[in-house]
Structure 1
Amino acid sequence: MTEHFKYILMEFINFIFILILVTLPILTVRYDVLTLHNNIPEQSLTEWSEEILLTITAGSFLFISFIDRKYHHGFILISAFFYCILIRELDSFFDNLVFHGFWIYPAIITAITALYYSIQKRKNTLNTLYLFVKNKNFPILCIGLAIIFVFSRLFGMEVFWHQVMNSDFQRIVKNIAEETTELLGYTIITYAAVNYIFSFNNKKQINNLTLSSAINDYG
């Protein structure tokens, strides 16, 4: 089996995996609406899935920060960004636990702490961010963020669905449209984040191999 054929096969398998992956948001929302018969409230399988995916995403970038100290400060900052989004998604939890709108305080503390920590080694952080945006997974990550922050918000606008359904307007339809696309965005982001782990882990292995070869050649 040639290297080219292996590469094509692996990419085809990856494509099949993506096809399966993008069905999960639909299956999750269907389970909420058709099996649990809910209106996709704050406490639903869909919302829990979004929070789990965000936890995996933030944890992935935190893990990369410990793979190699060269990446540490930069990926702490990136991880904190997704932890802030997670805190925002947990707003109802904080509303019930403390008071309405409390989520903003832990989010601000997380952001400021990460920013302060990252600027302690500005060159390290800048180099890491350069490698981060240069990585082939960055456009995929951006697509996921765009779906969450722009597409799902516009597609889920209540005024739009009022115009579509007029007097037959049902909030559940709006919720399905918005939450399905939002969960799709989080799924894409998590896919990119996990692939970042493989990418930077391979980069470290290559660097170690190069260093080892240089030492052997010098010896």
Structure 2
Amino acid sequence: MSSPPPASWPIGFGATCLRATLYILLVGALAQGVYLEALHFPADHFSERGLTELAQTALLAIASALLLYVLLALRELRLVALLMFGLLVASLIREQDVHLDTHVFDGAWQLLVSLTLLPILAVVIRRRRRFVAEFAAYANSFSFGLFAAGFLTTYVFSRLYGRQDMWRAILQEHYLRDFKSAAEEVVELFGYALLLIAVIELLLLARRWALARKAG
């Protein structure tokens, strides 16, 4: 398989404005959903049955499906997409930990994550030269910047920001677990939104590269 083209076709101003508008609407809809959950569903505040958790699952499922399309239908960035697919599917499984532990067996999500990630890592390591070539081209893209931001937001900042000790220190005698849960889950939701947008941009980038290759 030939290496990805060094540069993609330029994105038109109109297309950029359209995509920016759609992404703004997505983020706004998620924020409104959090508000509606707090307003109308007090019994399920940021729980496994809450709107925020369901939205997280939906974002991860959509992003995983789009990456699967890249893997099956496009020739470009397959190993990069494969590694991202493994990470997001593992996160999707992790989001169902309570259901899996309750209805399957305790520790089921850890087993499923291992069965998902280990074969993918084996493929990437075995084809590491191809992966490095793809990553070198992908690292200069808008999609990679978004993915890095989403990764840091979801897997680093949300965990640190949602620490119980920190919220106890901030709220002191007024501490309620809902504050801690809301802080962590809403930041995590935004991180997943960034990851989805990054995947959309990856798909569009791969399509532009495919068109550029055909035209060349």
Equivalent residues of 1:25, 1:180 under 8 A apart: no
Q: Which residue of structure 2 lines up, in the alignment, with residue 187 of structure 1?
A: 193
Please give the residue correspondences for 1:179-218 in structure 2 after superposition, counting only pairs within 5 Å.
Answer: 179-210=185-216
1:115 to 107, 114, 121: 121
Q: Which residue of structure 2 lines up, in the alignment, with residue 16 of structure 1?
A: 21
Q: How many positions carry a matched residue from both structures?
A: 205
Give the gaps of 5 or more residues in structure 2.
Answer: 1-10
Rg larger in structure: 1
TM-score (norm 2): 0.85
Equivalent residues of 2:76, 2:210 under 8 A apart: no
TM-score (norm 1): 0.84
Q: Which residue of structure 2 lines up, in the alignment, with residue 72 of structure 1?
A: 78
1:25 to 26, 30, 41: 30
| AA of the residue aligned to 2:32 | L
More relative contact order, 1 or 2 (CA 8 Å, 6+ apart):
2
CA distance in 1, matches of 2:29, 2:107: 30
Q: Which residue of structure 2 lines up, in the alignment, with residue 213 of structure 1?
A: none
RMSD after superposition: 2.1
CA distance in 1, matches of 2:211, 2:71: 15
| AA of the residue aligned to 1:15 | A
Deviation at 1:93, TM superposition (A): 1.7
Give the gaps of 5 or more residues in structure 1.
Answer: 1-5, 211-219
Please give the residue correspondences for 1:1-219 in structure 2 after superposition, counting only pairs within 5 Å.
Answer: 7-37=12-42, 38-69=44-75, 71-210=77-216
Deviation at 1:100, TM superposition (A): 2.4
Distance 1:166 1:122, change over 3 A: closer
Equivalent residues of 1:71, 1:124 under 8 A apart: no
| AA of the residue aligned to 1:156 | G
